[in-house]
Structure 1
């Protein structure tokens, strides 16, 4: 089965939703629907008219269509395409243009007649846009309309570039992009300031005329907006909700994108549940948080009035359920993240033995260790464990050009002060300045500049790790090759990264591995780094016995935190420890005040880190647990 076998408990959902185990199987299914239509129409000598989308979401659909063309003879000679949108202004040969995207992802690899390809023109003069848009609409109509329109969904709820405020009957037109949309595109353009403020887009009314509309969404980052689009009230604030008015629409999701839908997030509200231990814990915590009551004060009436009567009947009395869940939450709390030596560990999240553990903290960027688990990092060192930190990437992308120049100037001045030759440094400096004067948005830095930026972050990381109590020999800079390769190629092989990670693991033979599990990282580095670690451990587990006793803990904090029901180890921090963690973060001076890639959160990293750990502590306290200054949270990954 490629598609999930789910009970049809969808009464909160206002349009059809199909959910697949992952984006690969979903993309193959969508591509097959498109291919079947192309084949059927071709057999009758008819065109197939496709409305196409850009962005990361449809890439695997296009890849499967290419495979079907090359391996199974699918022909695109009778296919006509209309793209949803294009940035304005935008030259078609620019790397960020949707013309370039579509050629690279589909058109250059199939037998489509390019005269049948239509993409909004980003080079028009402004007074030409209105007649162009009218002609675009007329051209679609001349082919009898769109047979299939595929869509993604932006975090603002936009479809195409129909941002909040768009009218349901809108046609193709020039629009102003939402600030969040521009932030999401900033990495492709080398900064938000380089992202166009406008775009030409098909309207919602245009999309509605398609005979079939397939909206696709993958990963957890899309879950909240998918829930609004599928279950929310129709509103111009979330343009995708207008699709609820169509009889021809289907949402195609992977499990992560569907995870906030009621049938998955709170299934007891729509159906009888199989009350497993994790489900009971999740439901009781949800009930306590919804009613703003401590767990031990929940009553049978609370259960019955909030969709949990079945739980009360099958597993009650409810006070016993409350006590059991309270104890489980309480047992996640430990001041001994490496395990408490010579203690009964049957109710503790970590093993008591060995008393002194070897631990590796893997940090995707040079500051994730102290930002996300700085208090625990310091606690492990203080408690005498053999703690190592491994910085997986150089982080050289996230340093301002001006800071790099300043460090180069320092080195030149230092060389002169020591009466040392500085001519070579000055030559590199002058070349760098010349490069920066003409640097284009998103243009890769030359090796010398990347090296300087990497050294800046390396020095900061060493300072932070030393502050946490690590000896220099336990500080490892991996500089995994994928990080720089990915700046010039999207087709990156990770084998050398995996081999390097395996070598470090074999050298240390840790009892504990801490890895970033914050997959909401907007640039994907955290997820790539985690996948490398996991693959390394899985391979080693087949041949090396020590791996069987190596526990993998995930941390978060830079972008968002684990849900309370997910947390398996909660490390409380005192006010003094929060301050020590802050000072460790302060060692990363290049990331203070205004980091290069701050994401959606305008707060400084140390502020968001403190706020999030305090929010976790408050959530524990609200459930009736002890009041702590802050809590760092961890989930164990079983591999």
Structure 2
């Protein structure tokens, strides 16, 4: 998606303290790991020995388990000689809960292979508290009795935890009961929906337990893992980042996809560690990096600045520092436009968007019912005001992000307004009673009934309509797609399917847009943005033979969770103080997400504050580099599908 700036020699990995393999995709990596596990199992079978696997839960290893199941079904791979030990389990946690790791492992692997039940070992979340210490000692002894773990699979949390070894864990730690870090608890709301439902403790293998495995795979996928991967790989060994203890392991392999690698020095700033093969894109990144590092406008950078900061070979490529400065300054300046749909009757040679057609058909895809105004509310308003035919499409209902109290309040409103207006109040009272009963009967369950999902979805729909109307959109141009993959009533979603793609294709065929805007905010901690973006790209690719598709440009926006780097930005839309206030008021229409939303992520600010701060920060970066000073800027990157 984003251009990878890569260096050309082995010295590019000089800062990396563990061997790192950057794979083309998660699928490729998981197939490779699954094949390694299969080889181990078969080799052990030939010798009449047991293969001992250390297994992890969470999203990261799911495709490994799918590959193993496939090998069992299609290639006859047997697991009769396999013993497994899982890393961890929430405490307390019932085995019957769909949120338990016991359920996870059976659902994704054990129920689909021929492993003997007695060979499966998962920490017991139901054990009595006074027996935990003895149980943990027994778990350690059982691993040792089987001769230790042959292959250990690990993911990594945003705190740097492996297993549930949170910051502060010691290198000599063994299996034990631990407290969960607040960030880990916050991340777990992705599955539990309500933070208060997340267990505060867990039973986990220790760092020493993990380190005794003969082979360790540390895996990470996606851009949201990029910052912690950099710390784990390039940082020194520290109890504050427990994954760094793996730097001492003699046989560890870090396997990541290109998105998870984005913060590694050899990818982000390869000139720091190696000689690179320069082109204009890498040169642009390096010049902007230098200007930001020195806090100097681009046009004031000198040859001495370049040479003192390891960029002498860039000057050899460019020939002259001042010519290079002007070239990069101009390229950055050309990204700035107040006309996101293209400026009519103008020379568009150096503009990010086409001048023609003057009035474009535009679809803004919003994963959740508020991403449109949070991430590109100012641009949204400009497109409408400048006369383009703008449509907004809300991809999912967002119903799980509404508090039960809000659903109850709307049920009460329906009952009371019926009474006030003398309507058939018994029917409305029944709806109210059903809503209240459904909420009260949930207990500790996070799953909503269909009725509650409907009520919560209508709350989000009403807010989204109000926000889009405030921007200036007509009701007939507001579309609610309600993609089926999302409608599970819980945080764990279904796999993206043909029905989801077809819904998007149908809207594209109806509008035949010249522009599509989509959320490229792939550090969304809940994963919905990534799925929604994939659905759009798949739909566009399936429509590649349509005549209009060759004139359809796809622009990615960000803002809800993080922002584009300055060197990545291809279209920068300046916002005035008035624009920013309109954007804020549009965000305020989403009242159920105001103050403290159900899924706040790790950022304590409200969504409108995050958006404004990021937009202002982007403008400040441009200003610092010597460009015009603006109140704020919304940024976009074009995706070539």
TM-score bracket, normalised by the shorter chain, equals over 0.9
Partner of 1:66: 69
Does the Cα contact within 8 Å between 1:486 and 1:492 map onto a contact in 2?
A: no
| Distance of 1:166 and 1:489 partners within structure 2 | 29
Q: Deviations over 1:222-256 (max 9, x none)?
A: 11111111110111100111111121211111111
Q: What is the Cα deviation at residue 335 of structure 1?
A: 0.6
| 1:85 to partner: Cα distance | 1.0
Q: What is the aligned partner in structure 1 of residue 146 from structure 2? A: 143
CA distance in 2, matches of 1:308, 1:177: 44
Q: Which among 223, 239, 249 is matched to residue 252 of structure 2? A: 249
TM-superposition CA deviations, 1:566-623 (whole Å, max 9, x none)? 1111000111111111111111111111111111111111111111100100011111
The residue number in structure 2 matching 1:134 is 137
Distance 1:178 1:399 in 2: 25
Is the contact made by 2:190 and 2:492 (CA closer than 8 Å) also made in structure 1? Answer: no
Compared CA separation, residues 541 and 85, structure 1 to 2 (3 A): same
Bigger shift: 152-161 or 415-424? 415-424
Aligned equivalents of 1:493 and 1:150: distance in 2? 26
Q: Is 1:606 aligned to residue 590 of structure 2?
A: no
User: What corresponds to 2:52 in structure 1?
Assistant: 49
Q: Deviations over 1:304-353 (max 9, x none)?
A: 22222111112121111111001111110001111111011101111111
Task: Give the equivalent residue in structure 1 for 2:3.
Answer: none
| 3-state SS in 1 of match to 2:567 | coil
1:231 equivalenced with 2:267 (yes/no): no
> How far did 1:539 drift?
1.9
**Are the equivalent residues in 1 in contact too, given 2:8–2:276 (CA < 8 A)?**
no
User: Which residue does 2:384 correspond to in 1?
Assistant: 381
Task: Give the SS at the match of 2:365.
Answer: strand
SS at match of 1:565: helix
Q: Which residue of 1 aligns with 2:94?
A: 91
Distance 2:503 2:162 in 1: 42
TM-score (norm 1): 0.97
Deviations 1:6-61 (A, max 9, x none): 74331111121122111111111111111111111111111111111111111111
Measured after TM superposition, the shift of residue 413 of structure 1 is 1.9
Q: What corresponds to 2:15 in structure 1?
A: 12
Match of 2:345 in 1: 342
Mapping of residues 107-506 of structure 1, within 5 Å? 107-485=110-488, 487=490, 490-506=493-509
Describe the shift of the 1:231–1:378 C-alpha distance in structure 2 as closer, same or farther (beyond 3 A): same
Deviations 1:171-196 (A, max 9, x none): 11111110111111112123121111
Residue 562 (structure 2) pairs with residue 582 (structure 1): no
Match of 1:33 in 2: 36
CA deviations on 1:129-154 (whole Å, 9 max, x unpaired) are: 11111111111111111111111111
Report how far residue 157 of structure 1 moved: 0.5
**CA deviation after TM superposition for structure 1 residue 5, in Å:** 12
Partner SS state of residue 541, structure 1: coil
Preserved contact between residue 487 and residue 493 of structure 2 (Cα < 8 Å): no
Q: Is the 8 A contact 1:572 1:631 kept in 2?
A: yes
Distance in 1, Cα, partners of 2:241 & 2:85:
24
Residues 7 and 36 (structure 1), Cα distance of their counterparts in 2 relative to 1, 3 Å cut = farther
Residues 1:532 and 1:486: Cα distance change in structure 2 (over 3 Å): farther
Q: Is residue 192–residue 491 contact of structure 2 (8 Å, CA) maintained in 1? A: no
Q: How far apart, CA to CA, are the structure 2 residues paired with 1:271 and 1:486?
A: 50
Other structure's SS at 1:154 match = coil
State the alpha-carbon separation in 2 of the partners of residues 352 and 252 from structure 1.
44
Return structure 1 stretches of 4+ with deviation > 6 angstroms.
none
Match of 1:371, SS state, is: helix
- Residues 54-104 of structure 1 deviation map (CA, whole Å, 9 limit, x = unaligned): 111111111111111121121111111111111111122221111111111
State which drifts further: 403-412 or 596-605.
403-412
Give per-residue Cα distances to partners, 1:158-217, cap 9 Å, x unaligned.
111111001101111111110111111112123121111111111111111111111111
> Cα RMSD between the aligned structures?
1.6
CA contact (8 A) 1:566 1:635 kept: yes
- Contact kept, 8 Å, 1:485 with 1:492, in 2: the verdict is no
Aligned residues: 635
Work out the CA distance in 2 between the residues paired with 1:493 and 1:282.
35
Q: Distance in 2 between matches of 1:405 and 1:565?
A: 47
Candidates 617, 621, 624, aligned match of 1:622: 624
Alpha carbons 1:191, 1:441 under 8 Å: kept: no
In structure 2, the partner of 1:553 is: 555
Alpha-carbon spacing, 1:34–1:7, altered in 2? closer, same or farther (3 Å): farther
Q: Secondary structure at the match of 2:517?
A: strand
2:486–2:494 contact (8 Å) kept in structure 1: no
Distance 2:220 2:595 in 1: 34
2 CA distance for matches of 1:581 and 1:489?
31
Deviations 1:112-131 (A, max 9, x none): 11112211111122221111
SS in 2 for 1:258: coil
Q: 5+ unaligned residues in a row in structure 1: which ranges?
A: none
- The answer to which of 245-254 and 368-377 deviates more is 245-254
- Are the counterparts in 2 of residues 360 and 510 from structure 1 also a CA contact under 8 Å? yes
